[in-house]
Amino acid sequence: MIQAGIIGGAGYTAGELIRILIDHPEADINFVYSTSNAGNKISKVHQDLIGSTDLEFTDKINPNIEILFLCLGHGNSKAFLEKNSFSDNTKIIDLSNDFRLTKDEAFNNKTFIYGLPELNKEAIKCASYIANPGCFATAIQLTLLPLAKANVLQNDVHINAVTGATGAGTSLSETTHFTWRDNNFSHYKAFTHQHLDEIKQSVKLLQNNFTSDINFMPNRGNFSRGIFATMYTEFDGSLEDAKTLFSEFYKDEVFTVISEDEIHLKQVVNTNKCIIHLYKHDNKLLVTSIIDNLLKGASGQAVQNMNLMFGFEETVGLQLKANYF
């Protein structure tokens, strides 16, 4: 059994990570670090875990663990690693955006690999340090990468994606209060969302000659969790041509599924799946993807990466059923 540590244990992503790891047959949680909750039972904060674990938060770390998950706010992972040292044998998975871009991947003699398994699986298997992708970035990249691989992205890309309230984290703001979210809908960071940089980076990795615009409209939905993303662009081939590209690209991917039927969010909530649907209208290809922002978009993908790094079966601990009803 490998020993795991979690930093920033009070947030949504940490809560989902704990939920997965307490039942993972190959990993034990060695500590969950939270200075503001030290000494409190984890189930006091993550109340869905009552009766599932007696673990308590701690303000101490074990530097000799085998895997460390950083569930900190963006910009805080670098600061934490500068102040705290771990064994050379400790593998690290960071769930923030601190190391996702090529310009940021090298840090303190560590090189972070971008942890999208559908893109970098072989590199992840050999990696010691992983930058876990963003939630919007995961859902959107999985609509684009098969087209980029085939070198057929030749025009502007238009994306509209909606995320649930948990995408904003546990800290309250004006737009996360129930009274604001309930029966409400809005966009934010139009055309400028921070996940665009990692999306563009991955597309250019597979199709270096891509120079068109990626127009991304992120939206806030009045539901708790999940991302529903639609992408359309001009496509000269037939619908069957597109289906062949996607089926071939994802043929060995256990969590990415191509659906012949139209899809909806309840199919993926509480799972590590991404489900994709393709539709052709005139010369435009519409690709829809759905994920759980806290699982395939964060903690589930982090455990998927851990499984790959340690040579475990990729699906271990992640065979989760959707909350369909």
Query: Which single residue is written with the structure tokens 């909750």?
Result: 37
**Mean pLDDT on 300-317:** 98
- Which helix (H) or strand (E) is 43 found in, with range? helix 42-45
How far apart (Å, rounded) are the C-alpha atoms in residues 246 and 224? 29
2-132+298-309 domain in CATH 3.40.50.1970? no
pLDDT in tens, 117-159: 999 999 999 999 999 999 999 999 999 999 999 999 999 999 9
135-291 domain in CATH 3.90.199.10? no
Query: Which single residue is written with the structure tokens 């030749």?
Result: 154
CB under 8 Å to 152, separation ≥6 — which residues? 235, 236, 237, 245
How far apart (Å, rounded) are the C-alpha atoms in residues 87 and 77? 17
pLDDT in tens, 47-67: 999 999 999 999 999 999 999
pTM for the structure as a whole: 0.94
Sheet containing 214-220, strands listed edge to edge, beginning at the edge strand earlier in sequence: 186-187, 214-220, 157-163, 227-234, 284-291, 274-281, 256-259
Residue 180 — very low, low, confident or very high, per pLDDT cuts 50/70/90?
A: low
Q: Which residue out of 71, 126, 135, 274 is catalytically annotated?
A: 135
Residue 135 annotated as catalytic: yes
Residue 172 — very low, low, confident or very high, per pLDDT cuts 50/70/90?
A: low
Show me where the domains of the chain are located. 2-132+298-309, 135-291
Question: Can you give the pLDDT at residue 165?
Answer: 77
pLDDT in tens, 260-273: 999 999 999 999 99
